[in-house]
Structure 1
Amino acid sequence: MTERRLGLRARVIAAFAIGALLMSSLLSIVTYSVTRAQLTESREEDAFVSAENTAVLINNALSSTTQISGLVPIMSQVLVPTGTLQGMLHNTSSAFVDSQLSLNKLDPVFVNTLRAGSAAEMTFRINEQPYYVVGLPLPRAQANAWYLHAAPLAEVEQDLNSLLPTLAGASVITTVLGMAFGVYVTKRLLSPIDEISEAAGLVAAGDLTTRLKSGGDPDLNQLIESFNGMASSLQERIERDSRFASDVSHELRSPLMTLTGSVAVIERRREDMPEKAQIALDLLSTDIRRFKLLVEDLLEISRFDVGAVQLDIEEVMLGEFVHQAIGAAVARQREVPIIDNNGSGGLIVELDKRRIAQVIRNLSENADKYAGGVTQIRLGHNGDDIRIEIEDEGPGVPVDERELIFERFARGSEGGRRGSGTGVGLGLSLVTEHLRLHGGTITVTDRVDGLLGSCFVISLPGVVVG
């Protein structure tokens, strides 16, 4: 199974977001580490100075005969920062001002360092709280003794903990800003691609005059020039082919008129001909009529291809116009009912009468040839848009042919039999072109009443004026 990859736009935005997240996370880690080091160092420096000053005061208050037990009252009289724990360590004993501090709560490494005869400092936890502990010797004590000064670091830890949400929030904001910047950058970077895509869509829709403007970007100029060159070549090729079809059709009209006139003369003597000659004459007349229709349709199609068509807009009453158009389409034995929904027949609409009448005529003739004729026409509207639905009672159009039948020279499964009529496969294609000029469309569905047959739906937007 093929893996679905993210689009270029999504990948660029994701790259900016991930990059912003990584950078903000790195900066947050660095900021946290530097802040932690600075706060801890500052607190430890203050604690060490306080410990030194306190040790000097205690040492000055001692005499050579002072016992270890007599040091506690002296330490109690010394002012130290709030939360500081004090104690005294002797080679063989210890004494502490605060009950929170005891010998078994001191780090063994710290104690051994002191008893080895030197001062010591260390950070460790006492009663689950962080402390910076300083041990300084007291030279005037009776025997080897050290003053213990434990400064709390809980405030530093709280400050650092409060900093974490701020850094996390900054990382999130930076990531969002990075994503927003990625959206902006991709919009700027991909706007030429969007323009090329839009232009390609216009060319595919038939607007061969579409060209891209050079934006002065040397990296894109070659692509723009190639696209414009391709569009120009395609336009020239289609115009050349259209002119060829038009020229051929024009050239064929003269000999076709001669053939038509000659056959008309011969048909006047048809009754005097043998039976086989009459059959041959009938076949010749039928093919000449088909040939004449083909030439006329080719001329009309070529005008569409070269853009040499314009709408002749007139105001008409919809119901009256459709009635006249369907009545003039072909001679018929019965009247086609026209169903007026929502008073649509009384609407005044703007359209090209000749072209829309030809649309209705082509659909009617198509129904007569292949689908038993038109059974009814329904008129409807929605705001300024109108719908004309033409139903027949034929075998219907297979689903896989409902778009194919509107292609040029496509006659469908029912229209492919030579004996089924004189169609040349351009009637429905012309219907599509006439409607496209009006901005309209045509689709084919099954009949809404569930009976066998087709329903051709004409949609013309924005034509209602009253």
Structure 2
Amino acid sequence: MTPSQDKLRGWAAARRTILAGLRFTSLRLRLVVVFGLVALTAAVSASGIAYWLNREAVLTRTQDAVLRDFQQEMQNRASALAVHPTQDDLEAAARQMANSPQGFSVLLIAEDEAGQTVVGNSDLDDFSLDDVPKSLQKAVNREQELTSGNKHPYHLYWQRILDGDHPYLVGGAKVIGGGPTGYMLKSLEPEAEDLDSLAWSLGIATGLALIGSALLAQAAATTVLRPVHRLGTAARRLGEGKLDTRLRVSGTDELADLSRTFNRAAEALEKRVADMSARDEASRRFVADMSHELRTPLTAITAVTEVLEEELDAETGSVDPMIEPAVRLVVSETRRLNDLVENLMEVTRFDAGTARLVLDDVDIADQITACIDARAWLDAVELDAERGITARLDPRRLDVILANLIGNALKHGGSPVRVSVREEGDDVLIEVQDHGPGIPEEVLPHVFDRFYKASASRPRSEGSGLGLSIALENAHIHGGELTAANSPDSGAVFTLRLPQDASVLMEEEDRQERSGRGNRKNGKSREGNGSEGEGR
């Protein structure tokens, strides 16, 4: 890659960096930068054009005046000299020509009667033939062909030169018909100083224009961004669930139209959320009412099925063998229906936000042992838990979580099921691992969904489809987490993480609830006053 290509690539990278920086900075800064760049471009362009026009005007005016006087002096003084003047004659004529108001130096060159070149100089120390460019000397001494458009063989020529930092005007002409050749040298230092003063003035004007544009951009940005800031604040309030947020609309510009559109969208969203909340509340009320209504007949049916089950287990064999399968099916389905109603009531409490913890100090190992023993799972479960690992939790809800996880592992993974407990910081980790085929990857994201069935071909199962969902909700209400994964060896692994002290979470929730009640009590009066230009 060539150096020029490297340089171009570097410029492109720098440009992308600058654009990326501007893209992610604030809109106010971007507006100020854009205003500043436009103002700077306009001011620099105007100043450059003004400087160039004034420079040409000043230099042209001085140049014309000097050349006009030099030409006049050549006609009056140099042409009056003899064809072969002496050096004294040339010096006298040069000093007289230099007395012009334009203040230029003069150099006259001729040949004497002996054919020798003689030079007359008005200022021998400052101006000599070496100061005249060779190209100008050649042009002055070149005889041109006479035509209808060119009636003189010699003409006046001039050139601007720079000696160090000092500008000069050099001109030359030859006397027509025989005579000396004259050159003049005029310093343009006063004009250069005037042009420098003009450049400084234009630079100051450009700086003032840039400052003014920055102030104007700031004012414009404030005017434009204030409604945008209000819109952003209103959008955040709307995202926080304050659906009664509205913007105060004034004017007929695009920002006012945007505010009206926001208000219409907020009204539609508030209505839609209210309708959805009403339907959701009606659904929860229906499930709760249905569950309560089912409990009374289920209680009676359960009592009857218990009597039938005792008859089935009795040694007398009073139940007809022909109807025994039907009786066992009724007993099984009654239990399943009873579990489903209890689970529906628990889910309803979670959805309504009425589920509460009843905390107690629990030894985790003892709690797991009691859960396994109560369900006669001692022979199918391996427990790896040290006594003494305690936590302040709700024992009943922890039992529900463990029963669902262990029962699910025994049902789908088979024994032995391994339950291990360990402490990790301020948390307690309980892992339930089976040795079955594991959970299919497409099922993993849905294992905690309500009523989810891993296989569509088996829509009916012994469980209610709510156990893992209830276990997850019970973990969340403790401030914990429940996850599912597959073991690298074999089987599924459910990991329950619970804080060792859930009372801290309860205290925080109580503070938020009291604060929320206070805000709702005072919210109406605050909204009536408006905030940041927002109102209903």
Q: What SS does the aligned partner of 1:399 have? A: coil
- Which shifted more, 308-317 or 40-49? 40-49
Aligned to 2:413: 371
Give the TM-score taking structure 2 as reference length.
0.61
CA positional deviation for 1:348: 4.6
CA positional deviation for 1:294: 0.7
Instruction: Give the whole-Å Cα distance in 1 for the aligned partners of 2:167 and 2:150.
Output: 17
Instruction: Give the whole-Å Cα distance in 1 for the aligned partners of 2:237 and 2:172.
Output: 81
2:81 is the alignment partner of 1:65: yes
2:468 is the alignment partner of 1:428: yes
* Matched residue type, 2:246: S
* Structure 2 spans left out of the alignment, 5+ residues: 1-19, 111-116, 121-126, 250-258, 505-536
Q: Percent identity?
A: 21
User: What are the Cα deviations for residues 221-266 of structure 1, in whole angstroms up to 9, with x where unaligned?
Assistant: 2222222222222221111111011111111111111211222223
Aligned to 2:322: 276
- What does 1:232-251 correspond to in 2, within 5 Å? 232-251=274-293
CA positional deviation for 1:393: 1.5
- Which shifted more, 120-129 or 249-258? 120-129
- What does 1:286-297 correspond to in 2, within 5 Å? 286-297=332-343
Aligned to 1:304: 350
User: What are the Cα deviations for residues 63-103 of structure 1, in whole angstroms up to 9, with x where unaligned?
Assistant: 9438697269649988999xx9976799xx99973524236
Instruction: Give the whole-Å Cα distance in 1 for the aligned partners of 2:428 and 2:396.
Output: 18
CA positional deviation for 1:370: 1.5
- Report if aligned partners of 1:392, 1:453 keep a CA contact under 8 Å in 2: yes
Seen in structure 2, the aligned counterparts of structure 1 residues 122 and 135 have a Cα distance that, compared at 3 Å, is closer
User: What are the Cα deviations for residues 92-129 of structure 1, in whole angstroms up to 9, with x where unaligned?
Assistant: x99973524236248979x9999989x99987667999
Q: What SS does the aligned partner of 1:361 have? A: helix
Q: What SS does the aligned partner of 1:423 have? A: coil
- What does 1:170-185 correspond to in 2, within 5 Å? none
Instruction: Give the whole-Å Cα distance in 1 for the aligned partners of 2:223 and 2:360.
Output: 48
- Report if aligned partners of 1:314, 1:351 keep a CA contact under 8 Å in 2: yes
Seen in structure 2, the aligned counterparts of structure 1 residues 53 and 458 have a Cα distance that, compared at 3 Å, is farther
- What does 1:98-109 correspond to in 2, within 5 Å? 99-102=130-133, 104-105=135-136
- Report if aligned partners of 1:86, 1:150 keep a CA contact under 8 Å in 2: no
Aligned to 2:511: none
Q: What SS does the aligned partner of 2:493 have? A: strand
Q: What SS does the aligned partner of 1:412 have? A: coil
User: What are the Cα deviations for residues 300-319 of structure 1, in whole angstroms up to 9, with x where unaligned?
Assistant: 11111222222334443444
- Report if aligned partners of 1:87, 1:101 keep a CA contact under 8 Å in 2: no
2:73 is the alignment partner of 1:34: no
Q: What SS does the aligned partner of 2:377 have? A: coil
Seen in structure 2, the aligned counterparts of structure 1 residues 387 and 18 have a Cα distance that, compared at 3 Å, is farther
User: What are the Cα deviations for residues 28-60 of structure 1, in whole angstroms up to 9, with x where unaligned?
Assistant: 333333345456656776777888999999999
Counterpart among 437, 448, 451 of residue 489 in structure 2: 451
- Report if aligned partners of 2:234, 2:245 keep a CA contact under 8 Å in 1: no
Instruction: Give the whole-Å Cα distance in 2 for the aligned partners of 1:242 and 1:188.
Output: 41
Instruction: Give the whole-Å Cα distance in 1 for the aligned partners of 2:263 and 2:472.
Output: 37
User: What are the Cα deviations for residues 107-159 of structure 1, in whole angstroms up to 9, with x where unaligned?
Assistant: 979x9999989x999876679999674769999xx8996745363799979x9
Instruction: Give the whole-Å Cα distance in 2 for the aligned partners of 1:106 and 1:138.
Output: 10
Aligned to 1:149: 186
- Report if aligned partners of 2:429, 2:496 keep a CA contact under 8 Å in 1: yes
Aligned to 1:408: 450
2:257 is the alignment partner of 1:211: no
- Which shifted more, 354-363 or 454-463? 454-463
Q: What SS does the aligned partner of 1:444 have? A: strand
- Report if aligned partners of 2:234, 2:246 keep a CA contact under 8 Å in 1: no
* Matched residue type, 2:243: R
Q: What SS does the aligned partner of 2:433 have? A: strand
- Report if aligned partners of 2:238, 2:245 keep a CA contact under 8 Å in 1: no
CA positional deviation for 1:444: 1.1
- Report if aligned partners of 2:107, 2:182 keep a CA contact under 8 Å in 1: no
User: What are the Cα deviations for residues 426-456 of structure 1, in whole angstroms up to 9, with x where unaligned?
Assistant: 0011112222223332221122xx3220101
- Which shifted more, 322-331 or 435-444? 322-331
- Report if aligned partners of 2:105, 2:184 keep a CA contact under 8 Å in 1: no
- Report if aligned partners of 1:339, 1:376 keep a CA contact under 8 Å in 2: no
* Matched residue type, 1:277: I
2:496 is the alignment partner of 1:437: no
Aligned to 2:294: 252
Seen in structure 2, the aligned counterparts of structure 1 residues 183 and 396 have a Cα distance that, compared at 3 Å, is farther
Seen in structure 2, the aligned counterparts of structure 1 residues 370 and 63 have a Cα distance that, compared at 3 Å, is closer
CA positional deviation for 1:416: 4.0
Instruction: Give the whole-Å Cα distance in 2 for the aligned partners of 1:387 and 1:85.
Output: 103
Q: What SS does the aligned partner of 2:188 have? A: strand
Give the TM-score taking structure 1 as reference length.
0.69
- What does 1:262-411 correspond to in 2, within 5 Å? 262-270=304-312, 271-328=317-374, 330-334=376-380, 336-339=382-385, 346=388, 348-373=390-415, 375-411=417-453
* Structure 1 spans left out of the alignment, 5+ residues: 1-5, 203-208
- Report if aligned partners of 1:87, 1:149 keep a CA contact under 8 Å in 2: no
Instruction: Give the whole-Å Cα distance in 1 for the aligned partners of 2:401 and 2:311.
Output: 37
* Matched residue type, 1:216: R
Instruction: Give the whole-Å Cα distance in 1 for the aligned partners of 2:366 and 2:97.
Output: 115
* Matched residue type, 1:213: T
Q: What SS does the aligned partner of 2:485 have? A: strand
Aligned to 1:24: 40
Q: What SS does the aligned partner of 1:275 have? A: coil
- What does 1:160-179 correspond to in 2, within 5 Å? none
Seen in structure 2, the aligned counterparts of structure 1 residues 379 and 333 have a Cα distance that, compared at 3 Å, is closer
* Matched residue type, 1:251: E
- Report if aligned partners of 1:114, 1:135 keep a CA contact under 8 Å in 2: no
- Which shifted more, 436-445 or 22-31? 22-31
Aligned to 1:224: 266
Q: What SS does the aligned partner of 1:255 have? A: helix
- Which shifted more, 438-447 or 187-196? 187-196
Aligned to 1:3: none
